[in-house]
Structure 1
Amino acid sequence: MKKILLFAFCLSLFSCSSELDLHPRTGVTPETITPNDLKALENGMYNNVQNDPKRESWIMFDIIGGNVQGSSTTSKDVINNTLNPLNSIIVSSWKGYYSALYQVNNVLAIAEALPLDEDTRRIRGTAHYFRAYIYYSLVTRWGDVPLLTKNTLEKPSRAPKALVWEQVEKDLATAHEFLTTAKSYYYVSQDAVIALQARVMLSQNKRSEAAALAEQLITKGNYALDSFEKIFRKEANTEIIFAFENLTAESSNTISTLFYNYGHPNKGSYVYAPSKEMLELIGTNDKRRAISFGVFGGQDCINKYPSGQAGTDPVIISRIAELYLISAETSALDLGTQRLNAVRTARGLPEVHPSSQAEMLTLVLEERRKEFLAEGFSYYDYVRTNTAKQYLGLLDYQHLLPIPGGELQLNEKLTPNPGY
C-alpha cells in the first residue's frame, strides 16, 4: 500500500510520466530489498537519472543560450518559443527531474536501511551525487523549487534557492565521504563529486572554493586535455571525469538525432542547427571545428554526437577542460591566464594575456561557449555572470525558466516565476 500511495503522489503532484513504471526495481519499498538486489537498484538509478528528464534537458542551456537555431527560425526565436510555461521541453524537464528525484530518494531510503559495506557506501554516495546534480539542474533553471529529501504525500511549496544550494552542497559532501575511485568514467567517482562541487561553487560565485576544487583535479595528474576526436568519438581519453554511457539497451536519450539531417549517414530529425554566431565563433583554425560542426546534405550540423538516430553517444557530465576554465575564471590573474591558455593552445589557438579580471571573464565566457557547445552550459553561464542581456538579449524575467502551467494547476502551493 505504501508503494502505491507514493507512486500515486508522484503521478498527481508532478505529473510524472510512465518512466516510473519502466524500472520497478527502483520503485519498491525498503523492507522488501536485500543486498542481492543492490546491483539492479543501482543500475535502475543510473537509468532514471539519465533518461527521465528527456534528451532536451541535457542541451537546454544551448537551446536557450543562443547556440542553436531552427531550420527557419533564429536563435532568438528559439529562445522565446522555448521560454513558455506550456512548452513541451520545459514541461518534460520539470517532470523528468522530479521523477528521477523520486527514484533517487527511494534508493537512499533503501540503502540506508541496509548494513553499511562497500556496496551500500558506493550506492549511497552515488545517490547523494545524483540528488545534488538533480537539484543543481533545478535551481539553475527555476530558482526556488520544491525541496524534497524524502518522498512524501504532502504538496510542497517552493523552497528559497539558498536552501536548495545548501542541500546541494550537503549532498556532495556526503557523496565525497562515501565514494572513492570508479571502475571507469561511466560510474560516479569521488573525482566526479569534486568536479561538480567546483561547478556548484562557481555557480554561487564562491570563487576561492571553486578555484581550489578545480586546481585539486588539475594538479592531481589523473586527467589531461585531450583531442576532441577522442572525447566525442567514444575513444579512450584522458579528459572525461564522468559521463553516462548511454547504451542502446538502456536509453531513450537520442540527443544526436536533434542535430543531424537525412544527409548524415546515421540520419536525424534536424531540429536544431548551429547558430550563425557559433559558426563564426569557432574558426577554421580551431581544432574543435571539425568535431563541433559538419556539413551533411548541404546543411550545417552540430557534429559532437555522431550516432544520429541510434542515439548511443555518451552524455558527458564533467571533463577536465571545465576545471581548467573554472580555474581561469576564479584564480588570480597569473594562474588563471595559464589555465586559459592551456585550453587555447590545446585547441590550436594563440595565447592571450588579459590585463584585468573583467577582460579575463570576457575571454573565459567566449572560450566556454566554444569548448562546451551542445554540452549544456551557455545560457546559465551568462545568467550567473549577469551578462545575459548583453550576450543573449534576454528580458529580466527570462533569467529563470517558467514553472510549467500544469504544475501550477496541480499544486496550489506553487507560484509562477514573475513575468510568465
Structure 2
Amino acid sequence: MNIRIFILLAIISITGLSCQKQLDLYPHSAASSTNLSAKDVELFLNGVYNKVQNAPGRESYIFSDLIGGNLITARGTGGPIQLINSLLRPEQAMISTSWNGYYNALYQVNVLLESASSMEASSRKDEILGAAHFFRGYIYYNLVSRWGGVPVLQKNTTENIARNSEAEVWAFIESELNLAINQAPNYSNYYYVSKDAAKALMARVKLAQGKMPEAAALAEQLITGSNFKLDSFEKIFRNQQNTEEIFAFKNLTAESTITISTLFYTYAHPVKGSYAYAPANDVMQLFEDGDKRKAMSIDVYGSDNVINKYPSGQSGTDPIIVTRLAEMYLISAEAQGITGLGRLNDLRNTRGLPSISPVGDAAYLNAVLLERRRELLAEGFRWYDLVRLGKAKTDLGISDAQLKLPIPEKELVLNNLLEPNPGYGN
C-alpha cells in the first residue's frame, strides 16, 4: 500500500492487548476517525497493537540478521554475502512488504492519535495517546534505521510526500518517545506499552545517534529500577513469565501472521518448518563453553544447523520481543565506553561466562559487539549494529549502497517526490 493513497480505514478483525486489559475479538471499521466513540477508541487501540505487530511481515523482525551475516539460505550453497545481494534489491518483495507494512501501521496509529485527541481530558486519554506516540516512534525507528531519511507523516494524507532528512526523522522519533515517556501507563506487564518501554526504545535511539551519556542514563534507569532484572533464556525464549522483557508483542496464534519459527526448523524436526534460513557457519562457533544462551539460540537437528530461539515451528507462534533488559546492559556498556566494563561483565556472568578485561577502546568495543551478537542473535540487530559502528563494509563485504536499504521500486513509481537511496539507481 503506497503511503499517499490511504483513504479509508481497513477492517480490523483482530485481537490484541489494550494498555489495561485483554479485549475480545472485535471487528471494527470506519470511514472517518471522527466517528469513533471513547469505547471505539479503546477497541481501536487493541487493533493498533495487532496492526503494528503484523503489518511489516515476519521477515521484518529478522531482516537485520538476514543481511547482517548471521543467517544464510538453508538449502543453498552460498554464504552471507550471496543472501545479502539477493535481498538488497529495489524489487525484492521483503523490502516492499516491510516498507508498506510500516506505513500501513502508521496510518492506523495516526487515526488513533486523531481519535483519542478528541476524547474528554482524563488519565486514560493520556495513556492511549502515550501508547500511540510510542508506536509512532517505534515505526519510525524501524524506517530510519533501514532507509535513512523517509517521509514523516504526522497526519494521514493522499498527497505525494518527499523524504525528510535522516536528522529530521531522528528528531521526530525523540519527540514521539518523549511524549510516550510522559503519557504512557506505568509498567504493569511486558505485553503492554509503558513508560519503561518508551525509555528503553529511547535508549536505543540515543545510542544509534551517538548520544552516549543520554543513552547510558536511560539504560541505567531501567537496570537500577525495581521492575526488571536479568532472567534465564529458558524463560525468555520459551514463553515463560520472566523479569527481563520490557515490551513484547504477545503474537497470539489466532491473530498473527508472524510465524518466524517456521523459517528455521526442518520438516523432519518435531515442530516442523520450511527451513528457509540457517545460522551462518561462524554463528555455530559463536558461543563459548558454559554459555547458557547456546542451547536456546542454536541447535543441530540431524545434520542441519538451526536457530532455536523461536520454538513453535508450524504448531503456533512465539512472542516477539521488542525490548528487554539485556539490551539495556549492552547499551550502558557501549555508551559508557570502557568504564562500562562492569555492565558488560554483569551480563556475561549472568549468562555463565567469566569476566573479561579488554585493553584499549577498540578491543572493548569489539567485546561489546561480540556480546551483542551472541545475546541478540536472530532478534533483528546485527546489520544495523555493524552499519552504525562503521564495520559493515569490512565485516560483511558490502558496498556503500548497501549501508541503506533500497526504496521499493514501486514506491518510486507511485510517488515521484521520492528519491532512491544512492547506488540503487532510478
Give TM-score, length-normalised by structure 2.
Answer: 0.93
Question: Aligned with 1:249: secondary structure?
Answer: helix
1:291 partner letter: M
2:73 is the alignment partner of 1:54:
no
Aligned match of 1:283? 288
Structure 1: runs of 5+ lacking an equivalent = 1-10
User: Do the aligned residues in 2 keep the contact of 1:61 with 1:376 (CA within 8 Å)?
Assistant: yes
1:269 to 271, 274, 279: 274
Aligned match of 1:98? 103
CA distance in structure 2 between the partners assigned to 1:173 and 1:401 by the alignment: 27
CA distance in structure 1 between the partners assigned to 2:226 and 2:406 by the alignment: 42
1:130: Cα distance to partner?
0.4
2:335 to 330, 336, 348: 330
Q: Deviations over 1:152-186 (max 9, x none)?
A: 12110111011100100000000111113243110
2:20 is the alignment partner of 1:20:
no
CA separation of 1:400 and 1:274: change in aligned 2, threshold 3 A: same
1:27: Cα distance to partner?
5.2
1:310 partner letter: S
User: Do the aligned residues in 1 keep the contact of 2:146 with 2:405 (CA within 8 Å)?
Assistant: yes
1:136: Cα distance to partner?
0.4
2:172 is the alignment partner of 1:173:
no
2:62 partner letter: I
User: Do the aligned residues in 2 keep the contact of 1:210 with 1:330 (CA within 8 Å)?
Assistant: yes
CA distance in structure 1 between the partners assigned to 2:104 and 2:416 by the alignment: 20
Q: Where do 1:188-227 residues align within 5 Å?
A: 188-227=193-232
CA separation of 1:42 and 1:84: change in aligned 2, threshold 3 A: same
Question: Aligned with 1:321: secondary structure?
Answer: helix
CA distance in structure 2 between the partners assigned to 1:369 and 1:248 by the alignment: 28
Question: Aligned with 2:246: secondary structure?
Answer: strand
Q: CA RMSD in A?
A: 1.7
1:368: Cα distance to partner?
0.2
2:354 is the alignment partner of 1:350:
yes
1:21: Cα distance to partner?
3.9
1:374 partner letter: A
Aligned match of 1:318? 323
Question: Aligned with 2:282: secondary structure?
Answer: helix
- For structure 1, which segment, 238-247 or 388-397, has the greater mean C-alpha deviation from structure 2 after superposition? 388-397
Question: Aligned with 2:274: secondary structure?
Answer: coil
Question: Aligned with 2:64: secondary structure?
Answer: helix
Aligned match of 1:234? 239
2:94 is the alignment partner of 1:89:
yes
Aligned match of 1:38? 41
Q: Which has the higher helix share?
A: 1
1:341 to 339, 345, 353: 345
1:213: Cα distance to partner?
0.5
Question: Aligned with 1:350: secondary structure?
Answer: coil
CA distance in structure 2 between the partners assigned to 1:259 and 1:174 by the alignment: 38
Percent identity for Structure 1 against Structure 2: 51
CA distance in structure 1 between the partners assigned to 2:79 and 2:316 by the alignment: 26
1:100 partner letter: A
User: Do the aligned residues in 2 keep the contact of 1:14 with 1:98 (CA within 8 Å)?
Assistant: no
1:362 partner letter: N
Number of equivalenced pairs: 408
User: Do the aligned residues in 1 keep the contact of 2:203 with 2:219 (CA within 8 Å)?
Assistant: yes
CA distance in structure 2 between the partners assigned to 1:225 and 1:357 by the alignment: 26
User: Do the aligned residues in 1 keep the contact of 2:65 with 2:377 (CA within 8 Å)?
Assistant: yes
